[in-house]
Structure 1
Amino acid sequence: MHYLVAVDGSEPSDGALDHALMLSAALDASLTVAYAVEPNAVEPNADGDDSLYTEDPDDAEARGERIVADATGRAAENGVDAEAVLLYGDAVETITAYAAENGVDGIVVGHRGLSDRVEGMVGSVAKRLVANAAVPVTVVR
């Protein structure tokens, strides 16, 4: 078995990583930790609402490198050997393409719970993965 977990540094993606680590350890499966480098990001603001902003592409890549390094470190601490990949572009398009091209058997993703306003602008990655992936998608809440 080969799982892919999509991470973005958010609390829901930490939950997805925990679930993917549990699955990988229990099933002796390989794990890929993936971060989609996309300069448009959604982050909670001081009021707890979601805000959409654009960051420098180099900053987005550096953030992705930190996030996958942290995730693969957590995997190693849990006895799971994980490969880290940075994917460039829309998260849904790049994750589904990577999964199809690399024999991924299942995708694990966190549910962000975006506000209706922000979800209307950018869409839910989890919902779009469920609709577009050719393999099973586990959404962790």
Structure 2
Amino acid sequence: MTQARSLGVAADSVLIYDMEAYRTEDTTCREGVLACMSAWTARLHDHGYLSGFYSSMSSGVADQVNAYNRAGYVRPDHLDFARWDQIATVTDTALPAGYWSPHRRVKQYRGGHDETWGGVTINIDNDYLDVAPLPPAGRTCWP
């Protein structure tokens, strides 16, 4: 949050945690990730920021879906998921329709590849966004 503020990222902005693949079959590891994310999200809310979570569908996202309604779990406000199926949509059979909805999903649908823009070639991913402003952190609806 300190770094976000120093860069001029205003409160009520979404800070996305990039959780790369981990050993989901390891209960200690899985529960550690969930505990970290719940505490991180709560702390962001305490300081007026919203949280986002990025991971692949097969690891972090599957665990986030399973914990979505867990008592006491402070789930991320936004979900950014990787499924490199070349389909630009945020609808996915592994995500229940009401989870991170409406307008709180980002999908990385294509992994690293070269594209040329303005004569400069860069290696980038492709993402599809369905996002809209949310109520300020810590509130469930607009005033």
Fold match by TM threshold 0.5 = no
The alignment's TM-score, normalised by the length of structure 1, stands at 0.34
Structure with the largest fraction of helix: 1
